[in-house]
């Protein structure tokens, strides 16, 4: 039997034990301060031939990895993704009569065949009751859908902001400075601004005010979205965006017959917008034009051409270039008129936290805003929505970059690959945008199934034959089609729903046509193809309802028509060439 260790050897072992313990503790400290690594929660160390029981084992806890902090946007999108997944799992297929999808497929294919060699096409049709695809032709092919992009922007706004969300405009006072603070209201009109100014004149000690500061810091300094042209006549549909905006950031140019020259006026009047009248009075027809340009910090409107003597008034809208200054100078002019004083000096800046809010105004609810944006295809309104999403969801000044971040997250939460959605702005005014018809139908179906704020997206769509972009289209539908149009050179799109007689959404559809050459097919002809497809879907809906009524009365056996997919070969149109129109 080996002899016991000497006292000297015991001291050496004790020192080794202590040294080992110190090394372990130092290692633990390094682990605690160093980067987190995947490891079990504890690690046990054993010392051979431990001379004393109390140092037999040392337990050193590892630092647990700190979970990444998730943003409110991420949490909201996670919740939406769960809701969408749950709703889709709950879809049940009734055992009663279904659509005669085979007959519908045959009719749509006959229409699509006529586009052979002329256009790339993507079509998707879905029964909202069952979730079954009634027809699909290249539904996963990304194509330019023009203003159908507004559907994505509007749906995201309704879902993430809520249908009752309102845009606020505040008036604050600090010492001798009056602050006008905007939050992106796309509906602020000259009439509404005059009401605000009237309240200020009666409730604020205007005599003590020396300066007006307009605060548009809710949005970034960028005013024109990607894809918008800054040259040209200054068309109203290419107006800039801003947290403080007025009359869609356009000015109305009005000309009346005069003696030597027409009399030209701007509505509303503003020191920021100047007019140059180069028009003359002549015999014959009135031929006037107006352009707006940015010059020396102002917007200059130039009117040219001839006006018929004794002719009717002529008017057109043109964009302005600096929204906040436009609002500020118009506000100052109105206030001076009401108080019989000199207009206040107008500057741009940020309201201090110490400024006391004197008055606050709210826009109409978001649902009404979206209704106007979609029914009249307002590019300006869509950009305001996109930038508001960027501001509210990220906490940074609203911009096209963080707005796009929100839209891609929303698209992903619906179950789509973000790579299938390409866009430059919120309106679809772009030659680079693309989306799939299946994805747009998914968007509409989600709106239908969620049954909360986003469901109202369908109610906001233009109604065939009524006011809006469908006023002259699908009049034979009996107002049973609600849809969003989209038109660019060489591009047409139509996405929406066919509703029952009681206005219940029945079938969702999306049709996207991109001609292989921008001028290969006139817009009217492209729209006629879309309308023919929608009328075919409407006819199938009516036939289905009739057959279901017969089945319910016992006069017909149940019919189970499986969903069909289009199989027409389009030759050159089958290519995945990117849209350039």
Domain limit, last residue, from 312, 338, 363: 363
Domain limit, last residue, from 312, 328, 363: 363
Residue 7 falls inside a structural domain: no
Per-residue burial over 382-401, b = 16 or more CB atoms within 10 Å of its CB, e = otherwise: bbbbbbbbbbbbbeebbbbe
Are 242 and 296 contained in the same domain? yes
Are 494 and 520 contained in the same domain? yes
- Cβ(209)–Cβ(183) below 8 Å: no
Q: Return the structure tokens found at 27.
A: 């290692």
Burial status of residue 297 (CB atoms within 10 A of its CB: 0-12, 13-18, 19 or more): exposed
Are 494 and 567 contained in the same domain? yes
**Could you give the CA distance from residue 351 to residue 357 in angstroms, rounded to a whole number?**
10
Q: What is the pLDDT of residue 365?
A: 95
Q: What is the pLDDT of residue 86?
A: 80
Are 556 and 503 contained in the same domain? yes
**Could you give the CA distance from residue 137 to residue 193 in angstroms, rounded to a whole number?**
49
- CA-closest candidate to residue 331, choices 209, 198, 193: 193
Treating both helix axes as pointing N-terminal to C-terminal, what angle do 400-413 and 149-161 enclose, rounded to 10 degrees? 80
Residue 47 falls inside a structural domain: yes
- Cβ(101)–Cβ(564) below 8 Å: yes
Strands 250-256 and 314-319 turn out to be: antiparallel
CA torsion sign for 72, 73, 75, 76 is positive
Residue 437 falls inside a structural domain: yes
Residue 373 falls inside a structural domain: no
CA dihedral in degrees (320, 325, 331, 332; nearest 10)? -130
- Cβ(279)–Cβ(261) below 8 Å: yes
Residue 1 falls inside a structural domain: no
Domain that holds residue 229: 167-363
Q: What is the pLDDT of residue 99?
A: 72
Are 191 and 132 contained in the same domain? no
Are 481 and 534 contained in the same domain? yes
Are 343 and 209 contained in the same domain? yes
Residue 395 falls inside a structural domain: no
Are 58 and 88 contained in the same domain? no
Query: Digits of tens for pLDDT over the chain (581 positions)?
Result: 444 444 444 444 445 444 554 444 444 444 444 444 343 343 333 333 444 444 444 455 555 565 566 788 888 889 888 888 887 776 666 656 667 888 999 999 999 999 988 999 999 999 998 889 999 999 999 999 999 999 999 999 999 999 999 999 999 999 999 999 999 999 999 999 999 999 999 999 999 999 999 999 999 999 999 999 999 999 999 999 999 999 999 999 999 999 889 999 999 999 999 999 999 999 899 999 999 999 999 999 999 999 999 899 999 999 999 999 999 999 999 999 999 999 999 999 999 999 999 999 999 999 999 999 999 999 999 999 999 999 999 999 999 999 999 999 999 999 988 888 999 999 999 999 999 999 999 999 999 988 655 557 998 999 999 988 999 999 888 899 999 999 999 999 999 999 998 989 999 999 999 999 877 788 999 999 999 999 999 999 988 888 877 776 765 444 444 333 443 333 333 332 333 33
Q: Return the structure tokens found at 424.
A: 């430059």
Q: How far is CA 206 from CA 113, 209, 549, in A?
A: 69, 5, 70
Are 57 and 175 contained in the same domain? no
- CA-closest candidate to residue 277, choices 247, 232, 307, 250: 307
Residue 466 falls inside a structural domain: yes
CA torsion sign for 225, 229, 232, 238 is negative
Are 83 and 47 contained in the same domain? no
Q: What is the pLDDT of residue 452?
A: 59
542-556 pLDDT tens trace: 888 888 777 767 654
Are 187 and 336 contained in the same domain? yes
Q: How many domains does the chain have?
A: 3
236-286 pLDDT tens trace: 999 999 999 999 999 999 999 998 899 999 999 999 999 999 999 998 999
Residue that is written with structure tokens 């749509």 in the block: 108
- Cβ(39)–Cβ(1) below 8 Å: no
**Could you give the CA distance from residue 27 to residue 414 in angstroms, rounded to a whole number?**
47
Residue 377 falls inside a structural domain: no
Max intra-chain CA distance, the chain: 132
> For position 532, which CATH number holds?
3.40.710.10
Q: What is the pLDDT of residue 43?
A: 35
0.85 cut: is pTM over it?
no
Are 264 and 116 contained in the same domain? no
């Amino acid at each position: 039997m080996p002899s016991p260790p000497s006292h000297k050897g015991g001291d050496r072992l004790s020192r080794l034990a202590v040294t080992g313990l110190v090394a372990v503790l130092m290692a633990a400290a390094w682990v605690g301060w160093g980067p987190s690594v995947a490891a079990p929660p504890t690690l046990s160390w054993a010392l051979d031939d431990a001379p004393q029981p109390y140092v037999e084992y040392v337990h050193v806890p590892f630092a647990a990895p700190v979970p990444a902090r998730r943003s409110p946007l991420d949490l909201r999108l996670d919740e939406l993704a769960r809701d969408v997944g749950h709703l889709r799992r709950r879809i049940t297929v009734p055992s009663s009569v279904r659509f005669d999808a085979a007959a519908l497929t045959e009719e749509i294919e006959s229409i699509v065949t006529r586009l052979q060699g002329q256009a790339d096409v993507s079509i998707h049709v879905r029964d909202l009751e069952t979730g079954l695809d009634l027809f699909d032709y290249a539904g996963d092919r990304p194509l330019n859908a023009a203003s159908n992009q507004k559907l994505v922007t509007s749906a995201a706004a309704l879902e993430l902001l809520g249908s009752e969300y309102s845009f606020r405009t505040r008036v604050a006072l600090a010492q001798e400075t009056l602050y006008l603070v905007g939050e992106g209201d796309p509906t602020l009109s000259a009439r509404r601004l005059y009401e605000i100014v009237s309240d200020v004149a009666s409730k604020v000690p205007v005599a003590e005010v020396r300066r007006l500061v307009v605060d548009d810091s809710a949005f970034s300094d960028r005013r024109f979205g990607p894809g918008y042209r800054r040259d040209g006549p200054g068309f109203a549909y290419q107006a800039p965006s801003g947290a403080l905006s007025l009359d869609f950031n356009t000015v109305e140019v009005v000309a009346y017959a005069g003696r030597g020259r027409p009399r030209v006026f701007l509505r509303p009047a503003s020191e920021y917008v100047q007019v140059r009248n180069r028009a003359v009075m002549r015999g014959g027809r009135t031929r006037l034009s107006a352009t707006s340009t940015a010059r020396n910090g102002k917007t200059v409107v130039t009117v040219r051409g001839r006006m018929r003597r004794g002719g009717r008034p002529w008017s057109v809208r043109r964009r302005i270039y600096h929204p906040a200054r436009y609002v500020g100078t118009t506000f100052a002019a109105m206030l001076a008129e009401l108080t019989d004083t000199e207009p206040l000096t107008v500057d741009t800046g940020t309201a201090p936290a110490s400024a006391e809010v004197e008055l606050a105004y709210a826009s109409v609810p978001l649902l009404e805003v979206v209704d106007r944006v979609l029914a009249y295809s307002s590019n300006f309104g869509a950009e305001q929505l996109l930038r508001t999403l960027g501001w509210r969801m990220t906490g940074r000044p609203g911009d096209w970059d963080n707005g796009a971040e929100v839209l891609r997250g929303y698209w992903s939460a619906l179950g789509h690959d973000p790579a299938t959605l390409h866009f430059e702005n919120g309106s679809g005014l772009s030659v680079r945008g693309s989306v799939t018809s299946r994805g747009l139908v998914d968007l509409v179906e989600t709106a239908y199934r969620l049954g909360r704020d986003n469901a109202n997206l369908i109610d906001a769509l233009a109604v065939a034959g009524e006011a809006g972009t469908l006023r002259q289209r699908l009049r034979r539908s009996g107002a049973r089609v609600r849809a969003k149009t989209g038109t660019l050179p060489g591009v047409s799109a139509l996405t929406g729903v066919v509703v029952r007689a009681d206005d219940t959404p029945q079938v969702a559809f999306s049709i996207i046509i991109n001609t292989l050459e921008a001028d290969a097919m006139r817009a009217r002809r492209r729209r006629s193809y879309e309308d023919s497809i929608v009328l075919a879907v409407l006819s199938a809906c009516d036939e289905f309802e009739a057959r279901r009524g017969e089945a319910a009365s016992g006069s017909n056996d149940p019919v189970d028509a499986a969903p069909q997919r289009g199989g027409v070969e389009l030759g050159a149109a089958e290519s995945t060439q990117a849209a350039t129109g």
